[in-house]
Amino acid sequence: MGQPAWFLAMCLKRFGFVQGCEVYYQLKVSRNHQFSLPGYAGALHHRPGTVDLVTFREVFLREAYRIPFPGEFRPVTIIDAGANIGFTSVFWANLYPNARIAAIEPEPENFELLVKNTSPYPAIYPIHGALWKNTGQLAIRNKGYGLRGFMTEETTTPAEDTVPGYTIPQLMQMLNWPAIDLLKMDIEGSEKEIFEADTSWLGSVRCLVIELHDRMKPGCKQAVTSAISQHSFNRFTYQESEVFINRLLFPPAN
């Protein structure tokens, strides 16, 4: 099945015939800068003809972040690190209406769209910054990976535009969360530095969903695997993400 036919078929499957046709028309025919989805509050904003459409397919059609948790678990504290334009946070806000979601994105244009897309959801807190191994200022680097592939690096150059780097413990303190039910990390290689540093915070994470980026920064997989091995996690792969379930924190099955 060709890509346009697949896209239409998935729209029909997810949203029904009439509403699915409308979603397809908005995104593939009229190519509006904003569109609406059945059951979602407000309009969603994107950049037609860009990788934003890939993000839409991933989040809303393939439902790559509908994680199959054991039992009836529903997360109530969620960090969406590498939130891009906010589609995953919006998906989770609808899937888990009792959740509080911190959506972190460093790139300014992406963050501007994230703020627009999450504005109908008071439980989503946009944060302009990036996860890092320590606090400090980070420069955004475009190394040719597109709108979903901006990387961050430490810098001491005053002339550079920077964003703050946040550690997991710092975010938990800011949010007043004793534990993180769901931590999603799609941070374009920064996982290497984060997991090579102190990862004692992993003991406060019930579920980690991470996309590894060895293709962009060799050593990511090794850093994550080594850190995870020091804790009690079960692991499985779900679509493009590695999922780790904390055996010590996860609620027992009824």
- Return mean pLDDT, the chain: 90
pLDDT band at 158 (very low <50, low <70, confident <90, very high): low
pLDDT band at 253 (very low <50, low <70, confident <90, very high): low
Alpha helix (H) residue ranges in the chain:
3-15, 17-24, 52-56, 87-95, 108-118, 168-175, 191-196, 220-228
**CA dihedral in degrees (109, 115, 118, 124; nearest 10)?**
120
pLDDT for the residue 78:
98
Which tens digits make up the pLDDT trace of 92-137?
Answer: 999 999 999 999 999 999 999 999 999 999 999 999 999 999 988 8
Q: What is the pLDDT of residues 61-88, one digit of tens each?
A: 999 999 999 888 999 999 999 999 999 9
Let me know: does 63 contact 55? Beta carbons within 8 Å: no
Q: For the segment 25-53, what is each residue's pLDDT rounded down to a tens digit?
A: 999 898 889 999 999 998 999 999 888 99
In this predicted structure, what is the pLDDT of residue 45? 96
Confirm whether pTM is higher than 0.85.
Answer: yes
Do 127 and 104 meet the contact criterion of CB atoms below 8 Å apart? yes
Domains in the chain, ordered, with CATH?
1-62 (no CATH), 67-246 (3.40.50.150)
Overall average pLDDT of the 89-93 stretch: 98
